[in-house]
Amino acid sequence: MRSPSFLSWPPPPLLLLLLSPWPVWAQASAAAAPSGARGDLACPEACACAPGGQANCSRRELPAVPGGLNWSVLALLLDHNRVRALPPGAFVGAGALLRLDLRDNGLRWMHARAFWGLGALQHLDLSANQLEALAPGTFARLRALRALSLAGNRLARLEPAALGALPLLHELSLQDNQLSALPPGLLTCLPALNALRLRGNPWACGCALRPLCIWLRRHPRPAPEAETLLCVSPGNLVLSPLTAFPDAAFNHCAQSLAPRDLAVVYALGPVSFLASLAACLALGTMITACRTRRRRLAAARRPPRRPPDPGPCSASLADTGSPAAAAQA
């Protein structure tokens, strides 16, 4: 009788799969897995994802930031949609995001905490929207930000508190807004800034423009770009280039106080007023007490008053008026 041999048995399919070369095993595993199981989990809703962590959500008529953001998304393209507002924590979950494109959304409002959680963000594009104002602290948490575009909005003023201190920002685009000046302290909080785009704004060449002119002299620009930065007011300076104003042109301007100095003034003003009022009250009380004491001492030292001595006239009158004198008469 022929004994059975192990090699004569038909090997099970699982054994063949394990003994086969690695590529065949990997292909079989991929074929057995559900289609798109991993990709769907890593890609935000209504977006197309590509290798390298890019999520393309452009031109999809999205009314809000899509859900499903996670740490695998490094670049989020949301341009040409209908995102009109950004609520607090609009990008929660995307803590590794490096690039965010929100161009041409008709964006009108952003909460001060809209970008919280994006500490690694380096490039932010908010151009071609309808922003008129920025809340204080809007970009303060984006400490790694290197490029920020606010071009093509309706900004009439840009407060330093909105940007905050961005130590790595080297490119800021502000062209085609309604800016007439940049407030003091805005550019000093951006030590790494070397590219500032300003054309297309109605610059008013007055004392408020002094910080910007100083910055432009320290950072020379190419001639074609510098020629487009022109004054629109006042009348005698219309079409004058911003780079043509030396520091001596602002000698007549009063030196504005820094925000820290203003805070000190506002804090010490009421305190000094109350202190002076208390000092006046204390001094008046002391003077009144001293005068009262002096009067009492003077009254104590003064001798008592004696009744007036009766004279002869008063005595005769007294005698004449008595009943005995009248009887004798």
pLDDT per residue as tens, the chain (329 positions): 444 443 344 444 444 434 444 333 333 333 333 333 334 457 888 899 998 899 999 999 999 999 989 999 999 999 999 999 999 999 999 999 999 999 999 999 999 999 999 999 999 999 999 999 999 999 999 999 999 999 999 999 999 999 989 999 999 999 999 999 998 889 989 999 999 999 999 988 878 888 888 888 888 776 556 567 777 776 656 667 777 676 666 766 766 555 666 677 667 778 778 888 888 888 888 888 888 888 888 777 777 666 666 655 544 444 555 444 444 54
**How far is it, in rounded angstroms, from Cα 69 to Cα 89?**
12
Residue 185 has phi, psi (to 5 degrees) of 95, -15
Report if residue 112 sits inside a domain.
yes
Q: By C-alpha distance, which of 94, 145, 102 is closest to 123?
A: 145
**Antiparallel, parallel or unpaired: β 147-149 and 54-56:** unpaired
d(CA 220, CA 227): 12
Q: Is residue 8 part of a domain?
A: no
Count of alpha carbons within 13 angstroms of residue 320, beta-carbon side: 6
Please state, in angstroms and as integers, the Cα–Cα distance from residue 235 to each residue in 19, 111, 160, 204, 327, following that order.
87, 39, 29, 10, 116
Residue 215 domain flag: yes
- Residue 223: inside a domain, yes or no? yes
Euclidean distance between the first and the last CA atom of the chain, given in angstroms as a whole number: 194
In angstroms, the CA 218 to CA 216 distance is 5
Q: 113: domain CATH number?
A: 3.80.10.10
Domain membership of residue 121 as a residue range: 42-260
- pLDDT tens sequence across 13-54: 444 434 444 333 333 333 333 333 334 457 888 899 998 899
3 found inside a domain: no
Q: Are 139 and 163 in contact (CB under 8 A)?
A: yes
Q: Does a structural domain hold residue 294?
A: no
Tokens 């602290």 found at: 137
Instruction: Provide the domain count of the chain.
Output: 1
| pTM of structure | 0.64
Residue with tokens 């020379």: 220
Residue 273 lies in a domain: no
Bridge pairing between strands 123-125 and 147-149: parallel
